[in-house]
Structure 1
Amino acid sequence: MSSSVKRFLIGRPLKSTEIGEQKLNKLKALAILSSDALSSVAYGPEQILLVLVTVSAVAFWYSIPIAIGVIFLLAALMLSYRQIIYAYPHGGGAYVVSKENLGENPGLIAGGSLLVDYILTVAVSVSAGTDAITSAFPALHYHNVIIACLLVVFITILNLRGITESATILAYPVYLFVLALVILLVVGIYNIATGEVSPDLHAPIGTPVGGVTLFLLLRAFASGCSALTGVEAISNAIPNFKDPAPKNAAKTLLAMGGLLAILFSGIVFLAYYYGIAPKAEETVVSQIASETFGRNYVYFFIQGTTALILVLAANTGYSAFPLLAFNLAKDKYIARMFTIRGDRLGYSNGIIFLGVTSILLIIAFKGQTEQLIPLYAVGVFIPFTLSQTGMLVKWIREKPKGWIMKLSINFTGAFISFTVMMIFFITKFGQVWAVLIFLPLIVFGFHQIKNHYESVGDQLRVTTCEPAIKVKGNVIIVPVAGITHVVENSMNYAKSLNPDQIIAVYVAFEREDEKLFAEKWKKWQPDVRLVTLHSYYRSIIQPLTKFIDTVEHKASESGYRVTVLIPQFIPKKSWHNILHNQSSLLIRAYLLYRRNVIVTTVPYHLKK
């Protein structure tokens, strides 16, 4: 039944040779990899206004020069990441660039930051999308957490079906969102040009504002830079593109940057001209749409597509997280399970891990993840800074043709990224201080995992100086619970191995049972030695393991190995297992960590 449900939800397994069919063209890649960056248009301008409103509404004109600064940084990042795409066509983005050019620890800091950031991407995006839904339908407000968790489950299943299938479905809402915002911007600017919007709604640019400080403006700029989260996703996911992958990825990156610049600057301008102030109960985009169209079907179309893009922004995380996890796992910094492709040729363990951790984060913060946005943003600017600095080192070291121009582009990106990162730490330290704790812990964990894998490899290598254990013979111990077909099956198997000795062990709770079973055994299996153990405290495990330890100690002194052969019957239906005592599982669990004891199970399958 579980297999049928899996096939229904995920689809038929794909052959390894079908992996070429799971590559993305530019249109699908733009939708699936830019949804995070484009969705930030829905909250990036609002983050600027939330800082400026602490002075007064007159200060809103500062949002225009701040937006110009954000777009300038966006342009620098687009050009920088375009160079990364061509320099590292196999993907990996900031992690690979930093590790190769700056060293192991900078690479791990970049990789760890991005892993956490992609988890935050899913949690923040889905929560923001849920807020947009409940803004239009206030009655659903009390069910935010449940709605958000269900949306994460839906997106997780969609991604488990394969990147091509998810991209085909998700492309429509992404492009509908772009269309909705273009309509909003065109109609809004037309209304302004025809004089339908009063110029008295906003303060003219350059109006003196008391209380505005450089610190406050830098804080507003840093908040606006949250709109740049997700721009690195394309450089991480180059292997998902159709050939020529680097060229297609670079074109998709520039298209994303252009769209983001137009939509972000347009929303900032309309919010300024309309005199929109941020409200707790309604988003800035909702207010602009309401002022432009009223609460009609166009308004609900804009709100609906905004909610969809905010939810589907999570898909950028699902596209980039598994590939980054693959690169880290390939280098032995995280579990090797992240290198395994699932039935649909995606890295399904990474997809499932991302979904589960995102749901836990949503539940922990009760769907109110606004306070995570600064943490989310600073988590991006750390790898931004490291990757641009890594490219600086690469150009200085290699000096390829035109390296001065390349160096200048990456220097600009590195300088601005570092500046924004420091602004975040200085102006929002109370919200981002956790980075200084969890990031070193993550890097420490990476090193511990790498040490473990290297230690295991050392011990498993046949060239190791450790001599192989020489075995003279084998002693088989068979725990028995009665005279049954299960035990008979196990005894026949034990005899077929031609061991030096077979010992059957029976644990009795009553003296009479012990004596009676010994008599029956002597008649049934006279050629197999039986040892009966009395358990004073009705425990099978304790006396059995004590006996096995005693035999193992004596056997190892003589060069013999002990094998514990556990009989186990397997019910025809899996749910029948809960009706039976699972003693065999407990015995196996206890014995697996005995250094010199071999544990094996002999199954006996029931027919009805």
Structure 2
Amino acid sequence: MSSSFKRLLLGKPIPTESENRDQLRKHTALAVFSSDALSSVAYATEAILAVLIIAGTFTLGLSLPISLAITALLVIVGISYRQTIHAYPGGGGAYIVARENLGVVPGLVAAGALLVDYVLTVAVSISAGVAAITSLAGALGYPGLREYGVGLALIFIATITLLNLRGIRDKGLLFALPTYIFVLSILGMIAYALIRYFIVGAPDLPPPASIEPPVNAELISAWLILRAFAAGCTALTGIEAISDNVQDFKPPAARNAATTLTVMIVLLVTMFLGITYLANLYGVTPNSVTNETVLSQLARGVFGIGPIYVLLQVATALILVLAANTGYADFPRLAFFLARDRFLPRQLANRGERLVFSNGILVLGIAAAVLVVLFQANPIALLPLYTLGVFTSFTLSQLGMVRRNLRTQTNGSERAALISGIGALLSGVVLVMLALTKFIHGAWIVIIVIPILVLGFQVIARHYTRVAEQLSLTTAVRPQPIRRLTAVVLVSGVHKGMLPALELGRALAPDNVTAVYVNLEPDQGMRIRSRWEEWGCDVPLVVLDSPYRSLVTPVLKYVQEIEGRYRDDQVMVILPEFIPSRWWEHLLHNQTGLLLRAALMFRAGKTVISVPYKLER
């Protein structure tokens, strides 16, 4: 039944030879890998305005020049990532680039920053999608939906996790329609709003709440400009996703990926600047009373509350929820590269039945759900943690491309190194700004977590190195034939479950087999002895007294004593175990077999054989 339920949820297994059939065309890949970057326009402008309005409404006009500066940075970083796509068509992104060109530790720093960022991508995107839904509900007269924000976010995380477990073919078809509806809705709103403004004029929107400017306005405004710029840099999140997944494009993969990245940058710049310009033109500000998003206020002011407004809000909510797919596309693949290089558990390198890295997808879903619960699905509370990891990876990736271009010395390598160098410099400056302006707002958590992750990567790598050294045949000695085999059968009583174990012991060591019973109660030993004469199969029985009612200690002492009798002896412990027919029936038994097996294998290091006896229903 569980197998049938799994097939119903995930679909039939996909054979390995079908992997190439699931590679994506450019229009589908744009929806799958760009949803995070494109959806950031729904909250990037609002993040800038939310900082500027602290100094009063007179500073809101600075949002447009700040957005232009962010756009310039976005274009430079995008050009640098085009170079990365052609240089590393196998994918891997900042981790591979930094590790190959800057060293192992910088590569691990980039990997740790990206892993944190991908978890935050899911948490922020889902939370922002829920905010769009509750804004729509509030505008339609149902403000009470905000109370169920966390529950909605968890449902969305579970749903998108399941969709990713089904594989790329299913999610490519699902993600294309909402992404293109969102893009067309935003572009249509910008065009219609500009035409309407210059022909009819701006609509009447509720005036923003009056905010008294601070006493030292000039000094604080300078600091706020830096904070607003850092907040608006959320518009750059997700632009590295295409370079991480070049191998998922149809051939020629590198050229198709580079073209898709260019289209994404053009759309992102157009929508980001358009929304920021409209917010200035229409005088829209963040509303702390109703918590209605800036995009919702713009759409309501342009179209009024009607079908087009509802369509735009629904499309916004969908793409924000589906934008989490960027994390699901990149986190498992990056985890695969790290596991392949022995910096993460090997289970994360295994692909499931649907040709996806199922373990990485599940880890990401659980981590994002924990963040959503801790921060109560509040995207504003999560945003300060968001961009620090992004710009850490940006900076290291572009520094790696600078070194690679200078080392290769091919045609155009100096120009490419210059572009990457400018991108690295600007990304590094923004990284410092983010660390300073967002430190007390939550960025300190990321600053602490990334070094912890790097340390964890190194600990895991040392473990795998030690295992490889100890398993290496370079220092191995050919094993000598076993001259004497002693079998010890541990019995808990005289019953049908022990008979197969006794037979196995007699077959393996007919002259050196002994049954052992640990006597925990005084009268039990006599009962066992009396029944053993009939059912013991001519195997001698040793009863070990345990006055302190310990099961493991007497067995370990006895096995150690047996081992010490002969130098060429191989001691083999046989454990008869009965297996209940239903899973819940395991809870009704002591599971002493597990305790004994763990004690013998991890303490004594002996050969342990379990002989199961399956019970019928």
TM class, shorter-chain normalised?
over 0.9
Deviates more, 1:191-200 or 1:587-596: 191-200
Which residue pairs with 2:542 in the alignment?
A: 531
Residues 1:141 and 2:150 aligned together: no
Answer yes or no: is 1:422 the counterpart of 2:432.
yes
Output the CA distance in 2 between the equivalents of 1:176 and 1:499. Answer: 76
Where does residue 84 of structure 1 map in the other structure?
84
Q: Percent identity?
A: 43
Cα 1:469–1:339, aligned 2, differ >3 Å: closer, same or farther?
A: farther
Cα distance between partner residues in 1 of 2:433 and 2:58:
24
Shift of 1:548: 2.8
Aligned pairs for 1:140-289 within 5 A: 140-197=145-202, 213-280=221-288, 281-289=291-299
Partners of 2:5 and 2:552 lie apart in 1 by 38
Aligned equivalent of 1:439: 450
- Please state how far the C-alpha of 1:442 moved relative to its aligned partner: 1.1
1:601 maps onto 2:606 in alignment = no
From 343, 348, 353, the counterpart of 2:358: 348
- Structure 2 equivalent of residue 102 of structure 1: 102
2:54 aligned counterpart, secondary structure: coil
Q: Report the Cα distance in structure 2 between the residues aligned to 1:463 and 1:260, rounded to whole angstroms.
A: 56
**CA RMSD, 1 decimal:** 2.2
Aligned residue type for 2:397: S
C-alpha contact (below 8 Å) 2:375/2:381 kept by paired residues: no
User: What does residue 574 of structure 1 align with?
Assistant: 583
Flag structure 1 segments of 5+ consecutive residues without an equivalent. none
Residue pair 2:487, 2:508 contacting (<8 A) in 1 also: no
Q: Secondary structure at the match of 2:573?
A: strand
Show CA shifts across 1:384-433 (max 9, x none): 01111111111111111111221221122111111111111222221312
* Letter aligned with residue 254 of structure 2: P
Contact 1:391-1:410 at 8 Å conserved across structures: yes
Question: How far 1:526 moved relative to its partner?
Answer: 5.8
| 2:402 aligned residue | 392
The match for 1:461 among 469, 472, 477 is 472
Q: Deviation per CA, 1:193-241: give whole Å up to 9, x if none.
A: 21321799999xxxx9966643322221111111110000111111211
After superposition, residues 324-403 of structure 1 pair within 5 angstroms as 324-403=334-413
**C-alpha deviation, 1:258, in angstroms:** 0.9
Counterpart-to-counterpart distance in 1, 2:445 and 2:510: 60
Number of positions where the alignment pairs a residue of Structure 1 with one of Structure 2: 602
Which 10-residue stretch deviates more, 350-359 or 396-405? 396-405
Deviates more, 1:356-365 or 1:134-143: 134-143
CA distance in 2, matches of 1:465, 1:343: 37
Structure 2 gaps of 5+ residues are: 138-142
Q: Secondary structure at the match of 1:54?
A: helix
- Letter of the 1:29 partner, please give it: A
Alpha-carbon distance in structure 2 between the residues aligned to 1:305 and 1:198: 23
2:411 partner SS? coil
Structure 1 residues 526, 163: closer, same or farther in 2, change over 3 A? closer
Deviations 1:130-151 (A, max 9, x none): 1111222222211111111111
Give the secondary-structure state (helix, strand or coil) at the position aligned to 1:476.
strand
Flag the 1:136–1:537 CA change in 2: closer, same or farther, 3 A.
farther
Q: Say whether residues 1:489 and 2:500 are aligned partners.
A: yes
Offset of residue 578 of structure 1: 3.0
Give yes or no for contact 1:129–1:311 (8 Å, CA) kept in 2.
yes
Q: Deviations over 1:44-102 (max 9, x none)?
A: 00111011101121211111111111111111111100000000110011111111111
CA contact (8 A) 1:156 1:352 kept: yes
After superposition, the C-alpha distances for 1:426-482 in whole angstroms (9 at most, x for unaligned) are 222213123332211111111111111011001111122577587432221111122
Distance change in 2, residues 1:525/1:200 (3 Å): closer
Say whether 1:514 aligns with 2:514: no
Counterpart of 2:140 in structure 1 is none
Distance 1:110 1:329 in 2: 15
Aligned to 1:560: 569
| Paired amino acid for 1:443 | V
What letter corresponds to residue 10 of structure 1 in structure 2? L
- Partner of residue 118, structure 2: 118
